[in-house]
Chain A
Amino acid sequence: MKNNFIALIAGIIFGLGLTISEMVNPARVIGFLNVTGNWDPTLALVMGGALMITLPLFPFILKRSHPVFSDKFSLPEKKSLDKRLLIGAVLFGLGWGLAGFCPGPAITALVTLSPDVIIFVLAMLAGQCLQSYVERVVIKKSV
């Protein structure tokens, strides 16, 4: 119950962050990625602002034996680099560069009810399901 309340509040704050910083606007994001054009460093300010908070505070939080409202931290377990991670990052980078949308801003921009945003989000969700299906069914069968 308390966990769910925190998730809702965290979501609202995150959504405010993405809109106040204009990261929901693909033109802002492409402006950052377009290094040879009229470069717009706003995205770097956003990442810098976020890291200013998370970089110093995460190590303190992770020193605790458990989170305040939960028995344990749920963190990724893999530690080393692998092909999956790097290929995934390349594909994500391609899609991000083509549209100027990454998952958070795209979902948040749904409130505009723009058909373009809805189409992007549906394609993104389809891509997630496709990847998960390929892993579960196709790859497992071939092993």
Chain B
Amino acid sequence: MEINWLGGIVGGVLIGISSVLLLLFNGRIAGISGIVGALVVNKPTKDNLWQMLFVIGLLIGAVIYALSQGGLQIQMQASRSMLIVAGLLVGVGTRLGSGCTSGHGVCGIARRSKRSIAATLVFIVIAMLTVYIKQALGL
């Protein structure tokens, strides 16, 4: 796949702007695993309305993109059974590790949090190793 220079940088800047808005106005971290977790782990209350609206916003953003670009392309990289295993691992791991790519990788590093810097390094290296081993095994 050709490198998406413009999309990568513009998309990244938008993610940064979104994180800044949420922190500046609401005092919240734009960590998606935490935002989604708050909606499913306990029965949501009216205090969770902002998380619900953020998730709805994600979907609206994707719909706007899909409408303006004539679709949204995704190419899955794993079988259904592997997707189930991967989904469970992502769910358990982000809960146990208190965050994912957005909360640790973008917001945590920007707060100069030692925990987030460590978590980000660990999950990127482990994910790279996982892809390497998966390919070596021909999965």
Spell out A's residues near B (CB within 8 Å).
Answer: 2-4, 6-28, 30-31, 33-38, 40-55, 57-59, 61-62, 66-70, 72-76, 78-81, 84-104, 106-112, 114, 116-117, 119-132
- Complex Cα distance, B23 from A70, in Å, reads 10
Instruction: Report whether B97 and A92 are in contact in the complex, using a CB–CB cutoff of 8 Å.
Output: yes
Given contacts A54-B107, A96-B86, A132-B41, list 16 more A-B pairs with CB under 8 A.
Answer: A11-B54, A12-B61, A13-B57, A13-B61, A21-B8, A33-B127, A52-B13, A88-B94, A90-B123, A92-B89, A92-B94, A94-B86, A102-B102, A103-B33, A109-B62, A116-B83
The one of A7, A49, A67, A68 that contacts B15, using a Cβ cutoff of 8 Å: A49
The one of B26, B51, B91 that contacts A6, using a Cβ cutoff of 8 Å: B26
Spell out B's residues near A (CB within 8 Å).
Answer: 1, 3-5, 7-30, 32-33, 36-37, 40-42, 49-51, 53-66, 72-78, 80, 82-102, 104-115, 118-120, 122-132, 134-135
Instruction: Report whether A131 and B91 are in contact in the complex, using a CB–CB cutoff of 8 Å.
Output: yes
The contact sample of 10 A-B pairs, CB cut-off 8 A, is A9-B57, A11-B53, A51-B109, A54-B109, A93-B123, A96-B101, A103-B94, A104-B101, A130-B91, A131-B95
